[in-house]
Amino acid sequence: AQKITQTQPGMFVQEKEAVTLDCTYDTSDQSYGLFWYKQPSSGEMIFLIYQGSYDEQNATEGRYSLNFQKARKSANLVISASQLGDSAMYFCAMREDYSGYSTLTFGKGTMLLVSP
């Protein structure tokens, strides 16, 4: 079973509008973390935002916020006031903790296109 599910292969939004990228996850652990990364066409992976499973407040970083609904196991990324430069692939990832180290499991990604 997939641990991270991103159901939207592609999303279109107009500049200055808000957009929500969906992410659901599957874990039985109590301690975990959720990340969002952006990958522009140039290929580098850029860290956007992080939410820990024990964090009570939703994470925010500038125009990015993470809508964390623990009971529903969802961690949607909200981008407010989209810009042309937001056009990219977006990946949701879940941190799984082991003894002494942790790994990330990534979703398949959502391609966001922002139009003028």
Partner 1 sequence: DVKVTQSSRYLVKRTGEKVFLECVQDMDHENMFWYRQDPGLGLRLIYFSYDVKMKEKGDIPEGYSVSREKKERFSLILESASTNQTSMYLCASSLRGTTYEQYFGPGTRLTVT
Residues that bind partner 1 (CB under 8 A): 4, 31, 33, 35, 37, 42-45, 47, 50, 52, 91, 93, 95, 97, 100-109
| Among 106, 101, 111, CA closest to 19 | 111
Q: Which is nearer to partner 1, 56 or 101 (CB)?
A: 101
Hey, is 52 helix, strand or coil? strand
Least distance CB 30 / partner 1 (angstroms): 13
Q: Which is nearer to partner 1, 7 or 14 (CB)?
A: 7
Go through the chain and tell me how many residues it has. 116
| Among 43, 83, 45, CA closest to 63 | 83
- Which tokens belong to 13? 């939004």
Least distance CB 23 / partner 1 (angstroms): 12
| Among 115, 108, 110, CA closest to 2 | 108
Q: Which is nearer to partner 1, 64 or 106 (CB)?
A: 106
**Residue 93 φ/ψ, nearest 5 degrees:** -140, 150
Q: Which is nearer to partner 1, 14 or 102 (CB)?
A: 102
